[in-house]
Structure 1
């Protein structure tokens, strides 16, 4: 292939928009060329969140949402290419993660991401690589997290143990011993509970900078109860999502007399503690943070206090934290077209390496 250009698209568990990147990818190099953040219509975001929990007429709703998402993804691609001054014919493929609405690891595990690849391919004229997770699950893996091999490619440094922690709706960690990927897993909730509680009490999408959480006081007995959830003690490989950590999970732990800002502080400490505790055995010498949580100064300070090691943005290692996940799916699209393995059995528990993703032609 003469072109090295790929698009990566990501909508995560926060359901706060589409991250789109244009990247130049080869065996030796990965270069971010351009990026674009695309809004999700509020009604579509609400429909996605409704599908994240069991309900009525799910198949009809899922089919409609999938087509709508395909069109929104196409809009994001058009805007990205226009801003970069690049024609669609120059792009090898779009790596589209899709919007996860169910992730059920286990013996008959499956993972469902919405975002119709046929709609996206036809609207852009570009081949689309999608459905990255289920091959790994068919091989006995968790199908998640998928970004650790990309983290290893970009952020591994000889002589230092690093944990690359993506804090989106959920949080996941990649364990890098020098340039070797030695593990990875979902640590538990990232921003999902913080965003939920902030939306209920402040009416804004998120607690900007963690200022509201910083104004509260951690309720230690409640934190202890939250940390008793069996997921936190489950050994890797493991992955999770809104199926487990959601409003219902939070409600069952609420105390009527707890000031709202104190619960926000407790939820922030839960995210920081669950990340720290999951990394204790690996004992990283440095944490690199990406995802929306990289902008939450209160959360970063809690991670520093818990870990006692440098905690910094992936920007310091060469890639803006807002674009790491979308960039990973541009890289995974490249791996699919180059017929290179995209999973890491040491992370997911799959029985072998596998080429991930299905190709949909325009």
Structure 2
């Protein structure tokens, strides 16, 4: 059995699964989601948005996160009557605070000290999944397409697996063709930030506030002109680009005052259209949606409207819990690492070759 841990760019909490794997599938035995301590969440948002910070503060966050992950694992074990000996390894992605895959010195930074996780849980822990791929010239992202191929296969009609977290990313599975995958742009991140400020809610439940507003076509067109959307794959992005400052700059450039719900409606349309514009590049088939965005009924309806030739459904409709899919992927990547098998897809990330991903941290 493997435990997978994922805390994404939306910072909505720590997703955790316990799973076993066969030759062509996974079985989730237990799953849970744990909230971040509020102090830690505030520090992570500030750090990922480029606010000034000292090395002392970075080290403190790294330790705090490692301890938080470890405490969540121990709580998870207790709640499900599991012993550490029953778990082969933990796959922990860590919390991305900066991702810069281009330029002369590309790097990515995930915090959450895996030494602490291994020491406090007594379980071998695999972490630092992205940097080997980047050392080989890749983007270090997205890493889930290899797992999506394992889980859903490439036979039959085209399948695009769409994860809508803080950032949205797709995996393209077509018969007889290499697997493709990349970040399409913002998922829930900008919508969450805007509704939090104006309504005091962490997210727009079912997209109700967005549905009460009206999309502004001119603002939408301006935002879709962001150069990232026209970049060719492989590409990846995160909070370092699509943060609140980006939205504030877009609104300042637009100049005209808009009601809060109209901005929210336009942000939902931005997520839907930036996804649809990429999905349309492939032969129509099934769009399998997972992540928090799959629970936003207004966003799901917008995707259906933007992709009339596609069957839009959730991964739950395929028997895979969409809330746990990314955590499940890192449990699988931990298994790949321990077995000495590759976890990346060079055609997705741009790396020069296949490689094993992740550093292994032993408890003893």
How does the TM-score come out when normalised to structure 2? 0.96
Q: Which runs of 5+ in 1 are unaligned?
A: none
For residue 94 of structure 1, give the secondary structure of its aligned residue in structure 2.
Answer: strand
Matched with 1:257 is 257
Match of 2:353 in 1: 352
Q: Secondary structure at the match of 1:36?
A: strand
Gaps in structure 2 of 5+ consecutive residues = none
Q: CA deviation at 1:85?
A: 1.9
Aligned match of 2:291:
291
Equivalence map 1:1-362=2 (5 Å):
5-106=1-102, 107-156=104-153, 158-178=155-175, 181-254=178-251, 255-308=255-308, 309-362=310-363
Q: Distance in 2 between matches of 1:86 and 1:120?
A: 16
- C-alpha offsets along residues 167-197 of structure 1, whole Å, 9 cap, x if unaligned? 0000000000148652000000000000000
Helix, strand or coil at the partner of 1:144: coil
CA distances 1:106-139 after superposition (whole Å, capped 9, x unpaired): 2421110000101111100001100000000011
Which secondary structure state, in structure 2, belongs to the residue aligned with residue 312 of structure 1?
strand
Cα–Cα, structure 1 residues 159 and 29, in superposed 2: closer, same or farther, change >3 Å?
closer
* Contact 1:149-1:181 at 8 Å conserved across structures: no
Runs of 4+ in structure 1 off by over 4 angstroms are: none
Distance of aligned partners of 1:217 and 1:148 in 2 relative to their CA distance in 1, 3 Å threshold: same
* Whole-angstrom CA distance in 1 between matches of 2:217 and 2:229: 17
CA deviations on 1:127-174 (whole Å, 9 max, x unpaired) are 110000000001110000000111111123521101100000000000
Task: Name the CA distance, whole Å, in 2 between partners of 1:141 and 1:340.
Answer: 18
Shift of 1:78: 1.4
Write the deviation string for residues 281-333 of structure 1: whole angstroms up to 9, x where unpaired.
11331100000001000000000000111111100112111000000000000
CA 1:110–1:158 in structure 2 vs 1: closer, same or farther (change >3 Å)?
same
Query: Counterpart of 1:241 in 2: which secondary structure?
Result: coil
Distance 1:258 1:341 in 2: 49
Three-state SS of the structure 2 residue aligned to 1:321 is coil
Instruction: Give how far 1:25 is off.
Output: 2.1
Aligned residues: 358
* Separation in structure 2 between the aligned mates of residue 260 and residue 20 of structure 1, nearest angstrom: 34
Q: How far apart, in 1, do the equivalents of 2:344 and 2:35 lie?
A: 29
Contact 1:152 1:181 in 2 (8 A): no
Q: CA deviation at 1:84?
A: 2.3
Q: 1:266 to 1:69 in 2, by over 3 A?
A: same
* Larger displacement relative to structure 2 (253-262 or 68-77): 253-262
TM-score normalised to structure 1 length? 0.96
